[in-house]
Amino acid sequence: MPELPEVETSRRGIEPHILNNKINKIVIRHPTLRWPIPKDLAKRFTGKTITAVQRRGKFLLLQTKVGTLMLHLGMSGVLRIVDNDTPVKKHDHVDFQFTDGVCLRFNDTRRFGCLLYTVGDPLQHRLLVKLAPEPLSDEFTAWYLFDKSRHKKLALKLFIMNNHNVVGVGNIYANESLFKAGLLPTRPAESLTKPEAAKLVHVIRQVLQKAIKAGGTTLKDFAQSDGRPGYFAQKLQVYGKDGQPCPKCQMMLQGIKLGGRMTVFCEGCQR
């Protein structure tokens, strides 16, 4: 389930291999991911050189002089660096083959990911323009989150998982952050006090940074671009652990559904 740390791990993994490298061929084996891959994408980007490898939210942005490729991993997408002649596996939907023999291969079992492109400023693309600040940037402050949460009655967990409020926080890191901040996921977002907002901002940054350092979280599908798993799964404190004792107070962790998604918390430690 790629969230911000997994996408950033992928970005760091592929950048040294594809930056300043020229695309020789783009092979599209499945024309539809979440949305259809634009029909002229392969032709447009063939022969072009990658001039930057960036990330905005959970989107990877591969820049060239004719436009920017936008790649989203959805929930099961994996990017790997292989050789052009590496045998294709099931769900290997797209290859970017480079002139030096390096191949960037996109595999996505559930096809919730997408591959699009945009010309001009990529940040003005309709899917990126409304995104909230990056949680690891200076824009993501206690005041920002506090203001944003005013007059919002929805559950705090859903509030921080909405990319119009903060980007990159998915189900795993939302559960972990709220546990660490000592805040109940079911609380209305507007009930956050200023100090609580400050605490939440702090732990979200901390959790995401630690996960990036560990190479992301591998539960099932995710792998780093060299095929190794991420190692943050061992550090998870509540996600996937309902019914087990709380790591802080030993009280049994509760599991509920919030917005259709698994939510785990400790009644003793979170309020």
As a whole number of angstroms, the distance between CA 211 and CA 191 comes to: 28
User: Is 91 a residue that touches DNA (CB under 7 A)?
Assistant: yes
Question: Which residue lies nearer to DNA by CB, 202 or 261?
Answer: 261
Q: Which tokens belong to 80? A: 């790997």
As a whole number of angstroms, the distance between CA 105 and CA 86 comes to: 10
As a whole number of angstroms, the distance between CA 117 and CA 105 comes to: 17
User: Is 151 a residue that touches DNA (CB under 7 A)?
Assistant: yes
State which of residues 12, 25, 34, 248 lies at the interface with DNA (CB under 7 A).
Answer: 34
Residue 43 contacts by C-beta under 8 Å, 6 or more apart in sequence? none
The residue behind tokens 């003793």 is 268
User: Is 3 a residue that touches DNA (CB under 7 A)?
Assistant: yes
User: Is 217 a residue that touches DNA (CB under 7 A)?
Assistant: no
Catalytic, 3? Answer: yes
Give the amino acid at 16. Answer: P
Beta carbon of residue 251, minimum distance to DNA (angstroms, whole number): 22
Options 3, 6, 176, 196, the catalytic residue: 3
As a whole number of angstroms, the distance between CA 263 and CA 242 comes to: 9
Beta carbon of residue 179, minimum distance to DNA (angstroms, whole number): 15
Q: Which tokens belong to 146? A: 């506090």
Name the one range near DNA by CB under 7 A: 108-116, 179-187, 194-202, 222-230.
Answer: 108-116
Catalytic, 58? Answer: yes
Question: Which residue lies nearer to DNA by CB, 65 or 150?
Answer: 150
Beta carbon of residue 254, minimum distance to DNA (angstroms, whole number): 14
Separate counts of helices (H) and strands (E) for the chain: 6, 10
Give the amino acid at 189. Answer: A
Cα-only R_g, the chain: 20
What residues form DSSP beta bridges with 98? 23
Beta carbon of residue 198, minimum distance to DNA (angstroms, whole number): 21
Question: Which residue lies nearer to DNA by CB, 15 or 242?
Answer: 242
Catalytic, 153? Answer: no
As a whole number of angstroms, the distance between CA 45 and CA 64 comes to: 8
Name the one range near DNA by CB under 7 A: 62-70, 98-106, 244-252, 255-263.
Answer: 255-263
CB atoms inside a 10 Å sphere around CB 71: 26
| Binding interface with DNA (CB under 7 A) | 1, 3, 32, 34, 57-58, 72, 74-76, 90-91, 109-112, 126-127, 151-155, 158, 161, 163, 170-172, 189, 257, 259-262
Active site residues: 2-3, 58, 261
